[in-house]
Amino acid sequence: MTQILPAAFSPALILIIGGLLAGFLPRALRNLVGLATVVISIVHLLAYGFPGFGEQLLFGERTLSGLDITMIRVDRLSMIFSIAFHIAAMLNVIYGWRHATRLEFSMGLIYAGAAIGGTLAGDLLTLFIYWELAALSSVFIVWAGGGHSAFKAGMRYFVFQVVSGLCLLAGLVMHYASTGSVAFNSFITGSGALADLSPAAVLILVAFAIKAAFPLVHTWLQDSYPKASAVGTVLLSAFTTKMAIYTLARGFAGLDALIVIGCIMTAFPVFFALIENDLRKVLAYSLNNQLGFMVCAIGIGTPLALNGAASHAFVHIIYKALLFMSMGAVLVRTGTTKASELGGLHKSMPWTTVFCIIGAMSISAFPLFSGFVAKSMITLAASEAHLVFAYLVLLFASAGVLEHSGIKIPFFAFFAHDQYAPSITGKPRPAEAPAPMIIAMGLAAFLCIFIGVQPQFLMALQPFEAEYQAYTQAHVVTQMQLLLFAILAFALLVKFKLYPPELPSVNLDVDWLWRVPGRIALMGAVRGTAAVWHKVWWGIRAVVGKSINGLYTTHGPEGGMARSWTVGYTALTTAGVLGVVLLAVFFLN
């Protein structure tokens, strides 16, 4: 393709500039600007060409204050993520055509541009700039949800993002001090053990871990995403965590600890999602679960596993956006996504129901849907690496995904107890989702099916060379057995009333530690610091006051130094001072 802009001009800047312009335009014009900037950006990206395996193209290379900067690095790993981010940006522009606020629309384009810029960054300094821009733009999207809870959630979200940025900056400085370079390449040395990492690499890993929502630092995701608007949640689901997955794949592929961490990430959200009443929060936990598959694959580190991580990130961006879009449509029409307040919506929202089921089948990895193509790649990589425990955990997590996202989301939102039967509840049935939302969901659903039926198009984007066939008898039979038994388990649990009921409730996660005892400890520390400072300040005031009083006593209008002196005493004092000066000059010379 012909390059329409200078090669050193990043596609990310097109979206960022478009986002800035959109903030000053009326809705009709900013929608057109949004579409145009996404199209121009992806055309500019594809014009770089698609490098071969192991090849990379570098643009925007320069030296800045002694630092070698590479603003754009195009290789197969950065390309597959950048293409996925452009698809997400396009879907979000269409989905928010009528309902995105000026702030959400503007920040959404900037957010997408920051994610693409970070993915294309060839050095840590450029990555840091886009890393922080993504954090800053996304927090406005959380706040755009409106209300005090969204503001507080946004503040907590921002704290996590700032800590991540500080860790990345500190790691960058330490890495430059020890190596003299800020190039962004693999930090793995030796056997791939965590103990072999340098202190700088550990700090950078912590920065990536926070944005990837590792266990114990994951709750910013479940806290903030459901607080955003219907449009904002779809925006948030696509970029931050997948940018972190990209950086992990770039910098820490083959790190053994990631296998264990990934397994934990896939397993624990299953239990939280099953008992959660807010369906958007269920999807947030499900997002955590899906990230675990990618992190585990990065830890395995083989070409097949890394292809699985990249492919899973690609399809996950699409089908997770589809699920969040369907719940967003429900929120727009009903004002809630609480399972205890929904049901029966398939009668008046049939298109949204169908699209949600397609997203559910994709995330559950049914054959002929996109999730199957990518997820089986990761389980196969674990099997080939003889990681039996990891393989079993991934199978359990796959069954759990079906339970909470594949079945629970569409069942309780669109079927189950009919909350909108006029003869029973008296509530009018909500209308179908607005046309732009239907179009966006339709496009995402088409991609979920297209990739599942024609996986060769996704395989052509693979970042590493590895043999893989998605539709083998072993893959299909194993997955279908798993899915059918999971469906049977759900049916039996519901039949015998053993499935966790959908009740209005607040489920505690590890964020309770800093929301309750952590907040008490913080406020105690604040009060203690204030008390100490109060005592120190009054001590300083007392000392300074006494000193001033003493000076006033001797030098004030009534002090001894202010009284009249005789000529003789003055002459004697002057002679003494001169004598001291003469002695000082004599001895110093």
Find the distance separating the first CA and the last CA of the chain, reported in whole Å: 82
Contact (CB, 8 A) for 325 and 411: no
Beta bridge partners of 72: 59
Q: Comparing 46 with 497, which gets the higher pLDDT?
A: 46
Helices marked H in 385-516: 388-401, 409-414, 435-453, 456-459, 473-495, 512-515
User: Does residue 1 carry a pLDDT above 70?
Assistant: no
pTM of the predicted model, to two decimals? Answer: 0.88
**Tens of pLDDT along 300-346?**
999 999 999 999 999 999 999 999 999 999 999 999 999 888 988 99
pLDDT reported for residue 189: 81
- Tokens standing for residue 433: 């989702």
Q: Comparing 365 with 502, which gets the higher pLDDT?
A: 365
Cα 475 from Cα 536, distance rounded (Å): 71
pLDDT reported for residue 562: 66
Residue entry with tokens 């190596």: 179
Contact (CB, 8 A) for 378 and 395: no
User: Does residue 551 carry a pLDDT above 90?
Assistant: no
**Tens of pLDDT along 237-284?**
999 999 999 999 999 999 999 999 999 999 988 888 888 899 999 999
Q: Comparing 239 with 66, which gets the higher pLDDT?
A: 239
Percentage of the chain with pLDDT > 90?
Answer: 66
Q: Report how far Cα 489 is from the mean position of its chain's Cα atoms.
A: 33
Q: What is the mean pLDDT of residues 386-392?
A: 92
Q: What is the mean pLDDT of residues 406-433?
A: 85
**Tens of pLDDT along 153-198?**
999 999 999 999 999 999 999 999 999 999 999 999 877 888 889 9
Percentage of the chain with pLDDT > 70?
Answer: 97
Q: What is the mean pLDDT of residues 417-421?
A: 82
Q: Comparing 32 with 489, which gets the higher pLDDT?
A: 32
DSSP string, 49-99: ----TT--EEEEEEEETTEEEEEEEE-HHHHHHHHHHHHHHHHHHHHTTTT
**Tens of pLDDT along 515-528?**
778 778 878 888 89
Q: What is the mean pLDDT of residues 547-555?
A: 76
pLDDT reported for residue 555: 67
Q: What is the mean pLDDT of residues 293-298?
A: 96
pLDDT reported for residue 585: 82
Cα 308 from Cα 301, distance rounded (Å): 10
Cα 205 from Cα 168, distance rounded (Å): 8
**Per-residue pLDDT band at 559 (split at 50, 70, 90):** low
pLDDT reported for residue 504: 76
pLDDT reported for residue 47: 93
Cα 75 from Cα 85, distance rounded (Å): 15
Cα 294 from Cα 310, distance rounded (Å): 8
To the nearest whole number, what is the mean pLDDT of the chain? 90
**Tens of pLDDT along 190-248?**
778 888 899 999 999 999 999 999 999 999 999 999 999 999 999 999 999 999 999 99
pLDDT reported for residue 272: 87
pLDDT reported for residue 499: 77
